[in-house]
Amino acid sequence: MPEVIELPENHLFNVFNLLLLENKHRLVKQLKECYEPNVHGHKTWASSFLLMDYFQTHRIIKRSTQAIELGCGWGAAAIYCAKNGARSVTGLDIDENVFPYMDVQAALNSVEIKKMKKSYDKLTGKQLSEFNLIMGADICFWDDLSKMLGKMIKRALNNGVKRIVLADPGRSPFYDLADHCDNFANVTLSEWYVCDPEYYEGFILDITPKSVSKKN
């Protein structure tokens, strides 16, 4: 019989041993009075759960992991990495109004996430070289974003990043990104699904440099 986890109050949910906020939670309502996200950062997107499950299945997060979540929003995937022993985790988003939500969720899980306000196409080679894992969920939904991500991924690999893992429901710009990256990197595109907190399905794009094989 599965363990029943008693939550401390209403409008929280537990997934992958994390406590996350629902939109009806009292803290979210309070935050919205001062911070209104304006670039799709108004909830935890389902692709974050695909990332968590993929990381857990392949045991990707290690004590040496220095990760950055692109378009982090409320930072669920970043919090998962920090909770599972990553050395350091940064949440990057162009919208600074998402960071208070990420901070609250990080505090609920007793972890700390660094913050960086920037568009991911503006990340320099030097900044990218500080990370060995780049991740993102639901961040490739326009053709322009596919092109921007492709350039950033190539720059990241050229500056020593060892792995890039992105999750998406399966939009056509995401497939275009996979095709583009296949020209200069090892690319694996996998169908993936999770059953918790609900049933979600989508795709995982796992990218490494041509000279590096994936070791889990």
Helix, strand, coil % over all residues of the chain, rounded to 5: 35, 25, 40
pLDDT attached to residue 7: 58
Give me the pLDDT at residue 43, please: 62
pTM to 2 decimals? Answer: 0.90
pLDDT value of position 135: 98
pLDDT along the chain (216 residues), means of 10: 54 88 80 73 80 97 98 96 98 94 95 95 96 96 91 97 97 96 97 94 97 59
Strand pairing partners for 215? Answer: none
pLDDT of residue 12: 78
Residue 4: the pLDDT is 43
Q: Encode burial over 56-78: b for 16+ CB neighbours within 10 A, e otherwise.
A: eeeebbeeebbbbbbbbbbbbbb
CATH architecture of the domain 12-209 equals: 3-Layer(aba) Sandwich (3.40)
**What one-character DSSP code corresponds to residue 8?**
S
